[in-house]
Every structure is written in structure tokens, then in C-alpha cells.
């Protein structure tokens, strides 16, 4: 049976990883799971970044105070209420509810819903920005 040794949810700031949506990264004993990867090249870039972060954390372990608090997560209904709720499927998801779930997972962002009004796009970006880890 495979043991799960750590679970991380990492958010990427726009600009820090230009063009990359937010990712959920889970580290197991013998594998790393990353959601919504575009291709192998993206996977390799993220793994290289993750290696640097882990090595950096190890080298600075004496000055790091661990936190055992769970990260706050975006709320599904807060996202859904900003969406047009037309289920038009332009985002390649079957419904706005599924799209909202994908946003909570970090696999999609406001830019993936072309039907969003500019006002609600800004509200959604601001709301989701409150959950960034400032990586
Ligand atoms: S594109 Fe926007 S409005 Fe259309 S289904 Fe997706 S989330 Fe809903």
C-alpha cells in the first residue's frame, strides 16, 4: 500500500509562471501528482521548480517554523454565483457548476470562461487572488 507523505496545494501568481494555471500538487512516497498538465514539458518544468523548492526548504530547515494549519480554499458557491450560469460549454466543461469545481481545484481560471462579464471576471480574479501563496 502506498503511503501518502505530504499534500501540498500550490497557487502560482500570474507572472511568476506566465501562462500556467494554478496547480494542485500532491507528493507521495514514490510519485508526484499534478493536476491539469498540458504536456510532458510542463510537467518537467514544474518538477524542476519543485526540486528547487524542496532543496531550498531543506537547506533552510533550521530557520523555518512549520505551519500545521490547513490552507483556506475557494468556496464553490462563491465562484458559481459570479458565473453566467448559462451552461454554454464554451469553457469545455459540461456545466457552470463543473467549471466552478475545476476552478476550486485550480485547474481552470476566470480566463477559461469567455462568457464572463468584465466586472465578474475582475471580481473572480480578486476573490481567487486571496488564496495565492505568493510563490
Ligand atoms: S463558459 Fe462560462 S458560462 Fe459557459 S458553461 Fe463554462 S462557466 Fe458556464
**Distance from the alpha carbon of residue 111 to the mean position of ligand 1, in angstroms:** 11
The reported pLDDT for the residue numbered 67 is 79
CA distance 25 to 19: 17
Strands 23-27 and 6-10: antiparallel
| Dihedral sign computed on CA atoms, order 81, 124, 118, 42 | negative
The reported pLDDT for the residue numbered 5 is 52
Q: List domains and CATH numbers for the chain.
A: 6-63 (no CATH), 76-129 (1.10.15.40)
* This prediction's pTM: 0.63
Strands 32-34 and 6-10: unpaired
Residues of the chain with pLDDT below 50 are 1-2, 11-20, 133-135
96, burial (CB in 10 Å: exposed 0-12, middle 13-18, buried 19+): buried
14 within ligand 1 shell (Cβ under 6 A): no
User: How far from 9 is each of 19, 85, 118, CA to CA, in Å?
Assistant: 18, 27, 28
90 within ligand 1 shell (Cβ under 6 A): yes
64 within ligand 1 shell (Cβ under 6 A): no
User: How far from 54 is each of 4, 32, 36, 75, CA to CA, in Å?
Assistant: 17, 13, 22, 29
Amino acid at each position: 500500500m502506498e503511503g501518502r507523505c505530504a499534500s501540498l496545494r500550490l497557487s502560482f501568481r500570474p507572472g511568476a509562471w506566465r501562462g500556467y494555471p494554478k496547480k494542485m500538487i500532491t507528493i507521495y512516497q514514490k510519485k508526484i501528482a499534478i493536476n491539469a498538465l498540458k504536456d510532458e514539458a510542463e510537467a518537467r518544468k514544474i518538477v524542476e521548480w519543485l526540486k528547487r523548492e524542496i532543496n531550498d526548504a531543506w537547506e533552510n530547515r533550521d530557520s523555518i517554523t512549520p505551519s500545521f494549519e490547513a490552507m483556506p480554499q475557494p468556496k464553490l458557491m462563491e465562484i458559481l454565483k459570479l458565473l453566467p450560469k448559462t451552461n454554454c460549454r464554451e469553457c469545455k466543461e459540461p456545466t457552470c457548476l463543473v467549471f466552478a469545481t475545476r476552478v476550486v481545484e485550480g485547474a481552470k481560471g476566470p480566463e477559461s470562461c469567455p462568457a464572463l462579464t468584465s466586472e465578474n471576471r475582475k471580481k473572480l480574479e480578486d476573490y481567487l487572488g486571496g488564496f495565492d501563496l505568493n510563490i
